[in-house]
Amino acid sequence: MLEIENLTKRFDTVTAVAGLSLSVGQGEVLGFLGPNGAGKTTTMKMVTGFLRPDSGTVRVCGHDIGSDTLLAQAKIGYLPEGAPLYSEMTPREFLAFIARTRGLYGDAARAAKDSAVAHTGLEGVMDRPIEALSKGFRRRVGLAQAILHDPEVLILDEPTDGLDPNQKHAVRDLIRGIAVRKTIVISTHMLEEVQAMCSRAVIINRGTLVADGTPGQLAARAPSGRLDDLFRALTSPEEAAA
């Protein structure tokens, strides 16, 4: 469903992503872990076609993101970091706009919007300006647009950022509920999210893959049996220098 091969991106003298290779299958919820500056967001932008790599390839459901960009992007739902929104719109207006950009009209658009709204709990704020919503509700609007067209691959950058504990629980339930028939990649620095939602996790540091396995397998690599201890050991400045 998602294949990344030798992906590399440089900014001047800084290599943000260095020869990253990774495959993710249907039904997998992959936690994409790394410290700030590890290359997570840069990788997500290349996977979704918003940033061109210096080298390497990305295929989404068999479509090359570089040469078959629109076909590949049609298979993707993307929640970027910060989820840019048209703040003067209401959620109702914004989701109607997103439906049109995804080629959905009439009954199909209404059904898609109603499903996304129900999954994200937006019923009570549909006619309020997005700029007047809390950070948590704005995040949920961003998540609703990502799942609106029922994509086969979901790329979620910090999906629970700004949510309260109840909202986090609802988003986790949503992700677990749709994971069986989708491929989901969750970019995060929050280890609790990986342990709560993910069937597999990878850790990157300085743009390079340093660990790959189930959360339990990775935790078992640390003497303490704790995932957070392994994460610190693999991403500490001393490890990076080595």
Does residue 15 fall inside a structural domain?
Answer: yes
Q: Could you tell me which of 124, 118, 116 has the C-alpha nearest to residue 144?
A: 116
Strands 55-60 and 63-64, sheet pairing:
antiparallel
Whether residue 213 sits in one domain with residue 188: yes
Whether residue 126 sits in one domain with residue 116: yes
Which pLDDT belongs to residue 92?
A: 95
Does residue 232 fall inside a structural domain?
Answer: yes
pLDDT of residue 242 exceeding 60? no
Does residue 80 fall inside a structural domain?
Answer: no
CA distance 177 to 67: 32
DSSP assignment of 71-125 equals HHHHTEEEE-TT----TTS-HHHHHHHHHHHTT--HHHHHHHHHHHHHHHT-GGG
Which pLDDT belongs to residue 149?
A: 94
Q: What is the CATH number of the domain that holds 57?
A: 3.40.50.300
Does residue 128 fall inside a structural domain?
Answer: yes
Amino acid, single-letter form, for residue 30: L
pLDDT of residue 241 exceeding 60? no
Q: What percent of the chain has pLDDT over 90?
A: 61
Contact 34, 234 (CB under 8 A): no
Whether residue 157 sits in one domain with residue 43: yes
Whether residue 161 sits in one domain with residue 113: no
Which pLDDT belongs to residue 83?
A: 64
Whether residue 131 sits in one domain with residue 158: no
Whether residue 170 sits in one domain with residue 203: yes
Confidence of residue 240 (pLDDT cuts 50, 70, 90): very low
Last residue of a domain, one of 115, 135, 150: 150
How many distinct structural domains can be found in the chain? 2
What's the distance, Cα to Cα, between the start and end of the chain in Å?
34
Q: Give the tens place of pLDDT for each residue, 171-229.
A: 888 888 888 888 999 988 788 888 888 999 999 999 999 999 999 999 999 899 899 89
pLDDT of residue 133 exceeding 60? yes
Of 67-71, 113-117, 188-192, 194-198, the poorest mean pLDDT is in 188-192
Last residue of a domain, one of 119, 150, 181: 150
Does residue 121 fall inside a structural domain?
Answer: yes
Whether residue 121 sits in one domain with residue 28: no
Whether residue 145 sits in one domain with residue 162: no
Whether residue 233 sits in one domain with residue 163: yes
| pTM of the model as a whole | 0.88
Domain that holds residue 230: 2-75+152-241
Amino acid, single-letter form, for residue 233: A
Last residue of a domain, one of 99, 118, 150: 150
Does residue 81 fall inside a structural domain?
Answer: no
Whether residue 168 sits in one domain with residue 124: no
Whether residue 55 sits in one domain with residue 171: yes
Whether residue 64 sits in one domain with residue 13: yes
